[in-house]
Structure 1
Amino acid sequence: MLRASLREISVALKEGQVSPTELCQKCLSLIKATRFLNAYITVAEDTALKQAEASEKRYRQGQILGDLDGIPFAVKDNFSTTGIETTCASKMLKGYIPPYNATVVQKLLDQGAVLLGKTNLDEFAMGSGSTDGAFGPVRNPWSYSRQYREKCVQKPSAQNEDTSWLITGGSSGGSAAAVSSFTCFTALGSDTGGSTRNPASHCGVVGLKPTYGLVSRHGLIPLVNSMDVPGIFARCVDDAATVLGALSGHDPKDSTTVQDPVHPFQLPNLTDVKDLCIGIPKEYNVPGLSSQTLAVWSKAADLFEKAGAKVIDVRLPHTCYSIVCYHVLCAAEVASNMARFDGLEYGHRSSADKSTEALYAATRREGFNDVVRGRILSGNYFLLKQNYENYFIKAQKVRRLIATDFAKVFHSGVDILLTPTTMRHTVPYVEFIKEDNRTRSTQDDIFTQAANMAGLPAVNVPSALSETGLPIGLQFIGRAFHEEQLLTVAKWFEKQVQFPVLELQGMMNHLDTVSHQEKSAFFS
């Protein structure tokens, strides 16, 4: 039941095979049983059950609101939710309960979807592993998969269990883990430099970053206003398209959203790719790219070519500057956005009362972790009067060149760009934390952040398993506001590769509080 796709479970609800309340209760039970994954910060059990009961009433009366009615979903904990704590995984916002819903959350609720809870992340979405939040790291469900446990060199045992688990990627790792572990059917993340696509790749799910402006940012606590985009996690491309159709469109509360009306996304079943031109950016074949990821990328290009598509090498000459450019702009906007957390209006407030300046300093020292403070310091340095031209303005100029590179490639006739999503598959937590947050983010965002700077849509599609049975994803990048074409191609590719379903044999053994009958019921 819980392994079904969103569309399959929607049909089951309409046919009466399961009720919204039963479905919600199954998801909540599995969330409790898998709390060792640390995917959720807050589980809104009472709220979810009330919403499920309301959905069940609509089904009985024949007044359902659409395909999402009764569908359980989760939300990254940097989206505002009425009456539900929103922390950004930071001590700074612990206890903060917003008085309103983010637009994307409200749109899903208006469609009858059932909000299960808020998912874990890197503090204020600053990271690429979901390991640097105030509530602890998120564990990748693939750590407990049959595929990994049968092939991993070091067999986990009672002695090394705590060091064998894998990271999810970040910063939206909680949402990726929630979808991957079958506790919800879709989840919202945010994507500033790859924070949806990166964990989607590591957790073996679809992760979609829409075009900047297609989906409202209202209620998303900002990291980098000019790049932040709400992202979508789903088990297949069709499901991501369904959710995107519910979320997209103009929002009067967000002046950056598209003004033209947006129609629901209905993806056709593409049978012929002979009219497609797929671009392979040479600059994405970088030192450090794992041989397994390179092989999957090459095999995917061959798959398109054998099917009749035109596959060509393309140049994005300013890609080599993009990660440096991204970090300058990111830090500068972080410094500006984090200035609002001063201990006066909301959030954490230090007990220091010697002076206003002392209050500010103590509040921010206590409320932010080292990662956030480091980016604030870097951003303020870049924005100093004597540095502004040399850093911020130059980075903006490079950003324009990067966007122009993409525009030239698409203008030349390329329909879709095919790239890796990450340098390698996921790694054990103990290996990941050997490097600092900035270094890790530089490596893990190298293929994803350029699409944010250019405002383009991009999607991760699970493509193959590594030699040790771990997911490897590929990224498809499309033209701005051409999500339908992007997702149609991604759907065709998804059908060709037939990525295997996560088999949670190892995780089942961790469900100590659940009976054998209940374990079987979760995944039947």
Structure 2
Amino acid sequence: MECIEEAIFKAIKYRKFNSLITETFDLACFQAKEALKKGKTPFPVVIKDCYMTRKVRTTCASRNLSNFIAPYTATIVSRLFKEGGCLIGKANMDEFCMGTSSSKGYFGPVKNGLSDQANLGTDWRSPGGSSGGCGVAVQLGISSVLVFEASDFSSSFHVLYLPLCVRYFEYYRSLGSDTGGSSRNPAAFTGLFGFKPSYGILSRYGLIPLVNSLDCPSVIARTAADCNFLLQAMNGQDAFDSTCIDAPPSCFMKERPINGMTVGIPKEYYNEALSSECWKGWNEAAKALAALGCKIKEVSMPSTTYSIICYHILAEADITSNMARQFPHCQIRWSQIWPQVKLRQVNFYAIFRNKK
């Protein structure tokens, strides 16, 4: 229970960063007690507000859903709860996951923990988006858990209540979603790990869709080990999602030799848009891999030029279909055009109106 209480304390302390839309402290305490009864170790989690959570407000950061109470819980969220996850709150985001700054939502912008706290009212840094609330929650320790870690990663990774031969760690993790960078982007902005599993590894049932063919549940955490823990806890085939495959992901924590491995460096990615700092970091990473025995090879990806164009064509077709359900289901007549225009103007941000 101490880790849950600490997470709640931090969530209250750092409210000014606006990382949470809905706080669920009472639920977290109840879940912690239930987890202990079942022999599980409770840990705090923050979940992006585009996942259904039964009897909890689920808004997608939109005025249109500002009072929507989900009737069921997303599959992967249920799996987290069964492993001892305790919901601290639903994370703030860009409306319907459309954005890269976490500033385009009905509940106000998320503010990066790297911002000057004395000037949060007028001068703050973006945490990236659309899963910016998840990133900031992990960054500030709102989604943290005290656990034990086995020293031998080849055995079961997440081992609790071991004898004194273990080390003590504090873990940070949250559940986001990623369509075109929505978790990897805020992870980069907040100095964290952002991991998007291959499409089909994790169930999308209960994830309010933006682009069905590209949406992926994803993880933001402080370590690759934490990403691995969440992935193992959530994976598995789901009868409610026809795109979810029965292919357990490999464990990150198993040591594998990289001597002789070939690592490609796409030459198209080195262009005028890449900052000197990023280029320096990229080079240093390549040199470090080479020193470990990897073969560094320049490769060409000529389709890079067309990738963003193809993304927009595919994504916006799906978005148009999915967002149609956000309007009243009525037969369109001339007399109803004005009410729908007014609804769009009042209930949705400009980025949503432009897409739809």
Task: Place the TM-score, normalised by the shorter chain, in its bin.
Answer: 0.7 to 0.9
The Cα offsets for residues 5-31 of structure 1, whole Å up to 9 and x where unpaired, read as xxxxxxxxxxxxxxxx22111101110
Shift of 1:162: 3.6
Which amino acid letter does the alignment assign opposite residue 85 of structure 1?
R
Which amino acid letter does the alignment assign opposite residue 110 of structure 1?
K
Which amino acid letter does the alignment assign opposite residue 205 of structure 1?
L
Pick which of 200-209 and 282-291 moved more.
282-291
Q: Which residue of 2 aligns with 1:269?
A: 255
The reply on whether 1:253 has 2:240 as its aligned counterpart is: yes
Residue 8 (structure 2) aligned to one of 21, 28, 32:
28
Matches within 5 A, 1:41-440: 41-58=21-38, 63-64=39-40, 69-144=41-116, 162-184=121-143, 185-258=172-245, 260-262=246-248, 265=251, 267-270=253-256, 272-344=257-329, 355-376=335-356
Shift of 1:87: 0.5
The Cα offsets for residues 126-165 of structure 1, whole Å up to 9 and x where unpaired, read as 0001011111111111225xxxxxxxxxxx8x6x554442
Alignment partners' CA distance in 1, 2:75 and 2:338: 36
The Cα offsets for residues 266-324 of structure 1, whole Å up to 9 and x where unpaired, read as 62234x42131111111111212110011000110011011111110111101011112
Shift of 1:355: 4.2
- For the structure 1 residues 100 and 264, does the alpha-carbon distance in structure 2 shift closer, same or farther, using more than 3 Å as the test? farther
Which amino acid letter does the alignment assign opposite residue 87 of structure 1?
T
Q: Which residue of 1 aligns with 2:167?
A: none
Shift of 1:264: 6.9
CA contact (8 A) 1:91 1:368 kept: yes
Which amino acid letter does the alignment assign opposite residue 62 of structure 2?
S
Shift of 1:248: 1.4
Shift of 1:230: 0.5
Shift of 1:365: 2.4
Counterpart secondary structure, 1:143: coil
Gaps of 5+ in 2: 144-171
Alignment partners' CA distance in 1, 2:249 and 2:296: 30
CA contact (8 A) 1:73 1:186 kept: yes
**RMSD (CA atoms):** 1.9
Which amino acid letter does the alignment assign opposite residue 297 of structure 1?
W
Counterpart secondary structure, 2:326: coil
Counterpart secondary structure, 2:115: helix
Shift of 1:344: 4.7
Higher normalized contact order (CA 8 Å, seq sep 6+, divided by chain length) = 1
The Cα offsets for residues 448-481 of structure 1, whole Å up to 9 and x where unpaired, read as xxxxxxxxxxxxxxxxxxxxxxxxxxxxxxxxxx
The Cα offsets for residues 367-425 of structure 1, whole Å up to 9 and x where unpaired, read as 1111101011xxxxxxxxxxxxxxxxxxxxxxxxxxxxxxxxxxxxxxxxxxxxxxxxx
Counterpart secondary structure, 2:175: strand
Alignment partners' CA distance in 2, 1:264 and 1:321: 31
Counterpart secondary structure, 1:115: strand
Alignment partners' CA distance in 2, 1:371 and 1:200: 22
Alignment partners' CA distance in 1, 2:326 and 2:342: 12
Counterpart secondary structure, 2:174: strand
CA contact (8 A) 2:49 2:91 kept: yes
Q: Going by fraction, where is helix more abundant, 1 or 2? A: 1
Alignment partners' CA distance in 2, 1:309 and 1:34: 43
The Cα offsets for residues 62-81 of structure 1, whole Å up to 9 and x where unpaired, read as x33xxxx3011010001111
Which amino acid letter does the alignment assign opposite residue 230 of structure 1?
P
Shift of 1:111: 1.3
- For the structure 1 residues 101 and 126, does the alpha-carbon distance in structure 2 shift closer, same or farther, using more than 3 Å as the test? same
Output the TM-score relative to the length of structure 2.
Answer: 0.87
Alignment partners' CA distance in 2, 1:161 and 1:200: 20
Alignment partners' CA distance in 1, 2:249 and 2:354: 42
Which amino acid letter does the alignment assign opposite residue 283 of structure 1?
E
Counterpart secondary structure, 2:28: helix
Which amino acid letter does the alignment assign opposite residue 185 of structure 2?
N
CA contact (8 A) 1:77 1:87 kept: yes
Counterpart secondary structure, 1:141: coil
The Cα offsets for residues 196-241 of structure 1, whole Å up to 9 and x where unpaired, read as 1000011011110000011111111111110000010111001101
Counterpart secondary structure, 2:344: helix
The reply on whether 1:40 has 2:12 as its aligned counterpart is: no
Shift of 1:168: 0.2
Alignment partners' CA distance in 2, 1:161 and 1:361: 35
CA contact (8 A) 1:171 1:199 kept: yes
Which amino acid letter does the alignment assign opposite residue 59 of structure 2?
T
Alignment partners' CA distance in 1, 2:136 and 2:306: 32
Alignment partners' CA distance in 2, 1:189 and 1:360: 31
Shift of 1:327: 1.7
